[in-house]
Amino acid sequence: MRRLTTVIGLALTAVMLFPVYWMINVSFTRDQDMRKSPPYWFPVHGTLEGYRAVLEQQGPYLATSLVVGLGTVVLTLLVAAPAAYSLAKLRPRGGGVLSFVLLIAQMIPGIIMAMGFYAIFLTTGVLNTVPGLIVADSTLAVPFAVLILTAFMSGIPEELLQAARVDGAGVMRTFVSIVLPVSRNSIITVSLFAFLWAWSDFVFASTLDQGGAHQPITLGIYHYIGNNNQEWNAIMATAVVASIPATVLLIVAQRYVAAGVTAGAVKD
């Protein structure tokens, strides 16, 4: 019975992940087999042409995405970590209102933010620049980051902070040498999500960096499809490479990911 359940579980997972498998399979398919019917279910005549195209053409896009992702993580943490500490432990008057504003902010559709940013970026000359994209992408993560970090930091025992205070540590010192190290796990969670969201962002990239000299990988794929490209192995190979951060995140930080998903939904 238990073994049967495992078999059913494997079957369900296989069905669910079939599109992912198909992406990988197509990425290895030769051009001449692309329109074969029925298709090859396994990459029997596998080719690396698609990946060669990625190496030749997508390198700059990937590098930009990496920079944008890391920049977003740094900006998000700089803004969110102190705020979370304050909300969790320093009891600011009006803190409840701020949390409420953050919850609301999270629900604003990205496309609307994009239009507002476009207007601002155009007049300030930040349009089509990497810093502009970092700022825009960080709006995807900052409210989430503050709310999650607040929830985790609220769990830090008062005694620990009390002890630091007795030892003469000020608020700042307590934050840097007690709160931040203790919150390491939640900071990792938030960083991973911030990176992934920035890496995956298409709305801001396609509106605010359309004419940029440095464009992220999501636009790389988009241009590929848009050019009526029939080299689906190259498109899917790029998609596979663009999925690497998500995969790494799942392998390295499986439990943090599930925690982040749930905390995102049931946070308060």
Partner 1 sequence: MSTSRVPRTPVRSAPAPAPVQGRERRVARTRPGKRAAQQWAAWAFLAPVVVYLLIFYAYPLYRNVELSLRNYTVRSFVQGDAPFAGVANYAKVFADATFAPALWHTIVFTLVSLAFQFVIGLALAVFFSRNFRLSATLRALFLVPWLLPLIVSASTWSWMLNSESGVVNTALSWVGVGPVNWLTSPDWSLWSVIIANIWIGIPFNLVVLYSGLQAIPSAVYEAAALDGAGAWQRFWRVTFPLLRPVSAITVLLGLVYTLKVFDIIWIMTKGGPSDASTTLATWSYRLGFGNMLPSFGPGAAVGNLLILMALAFGLVYIRVQRRQAAA
What residues from 147 to 176 belong to the interface with partner 1 (CB under 8 A)?
148, 151-152, 154-159, 162, 171, 175
78 in contact with partner 1 (CB under 8 A): yes
Using CB under 8 A as the binding rule, the residues of this chain from 30 to 69 that contact partner 1 are 34-39
Scanning 44-52, 54-62, 66-74, 75-83 for contacts with partner 1 by CB under 8 A, the matching segment is 75-83
Nearer CB in complex with partner 1: 13/177: 13
User: Contacts with partner 1: how many residues (CB under 8 A)?
Assistant: 110
- CA 199 from chain centre, in angstroms, equals 5
Stretch that binds partner 1, among 49-57, 66-74, 104-112 (CB under 8 A): 104-112
Q: Compute the least distance from the CB of residue 242 to partner 1, in Å.
A: 5
Composition of the chain by helix, strand, coil, percent to 5: 75, 0, 25
Q: Counting contacts by CB under 8 A, is residue 3 touching partner 1?
A: yes
With beta carbons less than 8 A apart as the criterion, state whether 68 and 216 touch.
Answer: yes
User: Any contact of residue 229 with partner 1 (CB under 8 A)?
Assistant: no
Burial call 62-87: b when 16+ CB within 10 Å, e when fewer: bebbbbbbbbbbebbbeebbbbbbbb
Tell whether residue 140 is a contact of partner 1 (CB under 8 A): no
For position 9 contacting partner 1 by CB under 8 A, the verdict is yes
CA distance 79 to 81: 6
102, 147 in Cβ contact below 8 A? yes
> Tokens at residue 42, please?
């396994």
CA distance 103 to 96: 11
With binding defined as CB under 8 A, does residue 268 bind partner 1? yes
Q: What DSSP string describes 236-250? A: HHHHHHHTHHHHHHH
Smaller CB distance to partner 1: residue 35 or 56?
A: 35
130 or 236: CB nearest partner 1: 236
Interface residue with partner 1, options 64, 72, 86, 183 (CB under 8 A) = 86
